[in-house]
């Protein structure tokens, strides 16, 4: 889709320079209505190609484009795939030349030739994540409080602990310690409630045509849980079929543990940035 583009040109010293820039931009595929103003050192055009192509064309002609860097705080990322999806969405936004996403800091740096911050936020939100411009004083947004994730992890660990004893007994050749109904009762809140963040994230990612860590965790645990439910309902009275409730519960618990460690690790650079911003 063709979009209007306004560029600030640097390095022009005469009307001939403006003509050179105009010819370079006019050669771009899908470029039309190209106009370069030497007095204002600007170029206006309608372009179907990415803004980065226009910047490269100007630089190829021996001039440069004035770029601005916009910082964004990104929310909802859970893995490197999420960061890649956000970066792709930002680079595809009109007026964006380049974008760099930092998963560890939940941030993005976007080089723009002609784009408003609100358009960048809209591009990120359209990809299924959240974004906002940092506060005016440069203070980063506070990290998500770890107490909720800690309570969720504790609940999942307590409910999953009996599965470890059950597995240890089975390794020694003893019969399972937990009857099927008890495994079902213990695994259900872990899979459904403690793992809700993964199921919600998976639905959001799939709705945007992407696959991330949430999809992997949700799919794996759901298959294990639902197959085990079917085995319990299909088993004759008194039988103990081979179940996978422990897999669903322990996977959720272990991934929650990793997320909890990640949240605590992220507090360190965020606190450092906060102290630096207060000093400047």
Query: In the chain, which residue ranges form alpha helices assigned H by DSSP?
Result: 15-26, 51-60, 80-91, 117-126, 146-171, 180-189, 196-207, 213-234, 245-279
- Cα distances (Å, whole numbers) of residue 177 to 85, 158, 162, 173: 45, 16, 9, 11
Q: What is the pLDDT of residue 120?
A: 95
Question: Residue 46's beta-bridge partner residues?
Answer: 4, 32
Two tokens at 218? 């949700």
- Assess contact for 138 and 280: CB atoms under 8 A: yes
Distance, in Å, from the CA atom of 155 to the CA atom of 13, rounded to the nearest integer, reads 69
pLDDT interval class at 25 (50, 70, 90): very high
Sheet holding 107-112, edge to edge: 96-102, 107-112, 68-75, 130-132
Q: How far apart are CA 201 and CA 78, in angstroms?
A: 9
What are the CA-CA distances from residue 224 to residues 20, 220, 248 (Å)?
64, 6, 6
What is 11-40 written as a DSSP string? Answer: S--SHHHHHHHHHHHHTSTT-EEEEEETTT
- 47-58 mean pLDDT: 90
pLDDT score, position 211: 83
Instruction: For the chain, give the mean pLDDT.
Output: 88
Tokens describing residue 107: 């941030």
Is residue 27 pLDDT above 80, yes or no?
yes
Measured CA distances, 69 to 64, 117, 137, 142, 243 (Å): 15, 10, 16, 22, 54
Confirm if 255 and 162 have CB atoms less than 8 A apart: no
pLDDT digits (tens, 9 = 90+) for 29-42: 888 999 999 999 99
How does DSSP classify residue 235? Answer: S
The pair phi, psi for residue 140, each rounded to 5°, is -65, 155
DSSP bridge pairs for 45 = 5
pTM: 0.71
Q: How far apart are CA 89 and CA 86, in angstroms?
A: 5
| pLDDT for the residue numbered 146 | 46
Q: Which residues contact 15 (CB under 8 A, 6 or more apart)?
A: 38
pLDDT tens per residue, range 57-79:
999 999 999 999 999 999 888 88
User: How many percent of the chain have pLDDT more than 90?
Assistant: 61
Q: What is the CA radius of gyration of the chain?
A: 27
């Amino acid at each position: 889709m063709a979009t209007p583009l306004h560029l600030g040109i640097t390095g022009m010293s005469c009307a001939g320079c403006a003509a050179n820039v105009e010819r370079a931009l006019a050669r771009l595929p899908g470029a039309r209505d190209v106009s370069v103003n030497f007095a204002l050192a600007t170029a206006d055009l309608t372009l179907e190609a990415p803004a980065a192509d226009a910047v490269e064309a100007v630089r190829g002609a021996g001039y440069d484009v004035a770029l601005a860097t916009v910082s964004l705080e990104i929310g909802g990322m859970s893995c490197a795939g999420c960061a890649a999806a956000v970066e792709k969405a930002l680079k595809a936004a009109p007026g964006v030349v380049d974008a760099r996403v930092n998963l560890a800091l939940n941030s993005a740096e976007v080089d723009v030739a002609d784009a408003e911050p609100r358009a960048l936020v809209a591009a990120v939100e359209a990809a299924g994540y959240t974004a906002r411009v940092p506060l005016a004083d440069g203070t980063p947004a506070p990290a998500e409080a770890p107490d909720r994730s800690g309570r969720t992890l504790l609940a999942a660990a307590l409910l999953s602990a009996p599965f470890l004893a059950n597995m240890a007994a089975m390794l020694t050749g003893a019969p399972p310690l937990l009857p099927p109904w008890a495994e079902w009762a213990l695994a259900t809140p872990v899979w459904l409630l403690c793992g809700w963040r993964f199921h919600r994230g998976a639905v959001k990612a799939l709705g945007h045509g992407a696959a991330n860590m949430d999809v992997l965790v949700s799919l794996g645990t759901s298959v294990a849980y639902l197959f085990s439910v079917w085995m319990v309902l299909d088993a004759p009275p008194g039988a103990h079929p081979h179940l996978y409730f422990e897999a669903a519960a322990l996977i959720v618990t272990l991934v929650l543990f990793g997320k909890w460690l990640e949240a605590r690790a992220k507090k360190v650079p965020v606190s450092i940035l906060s102290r630096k911003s207060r000093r400047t």
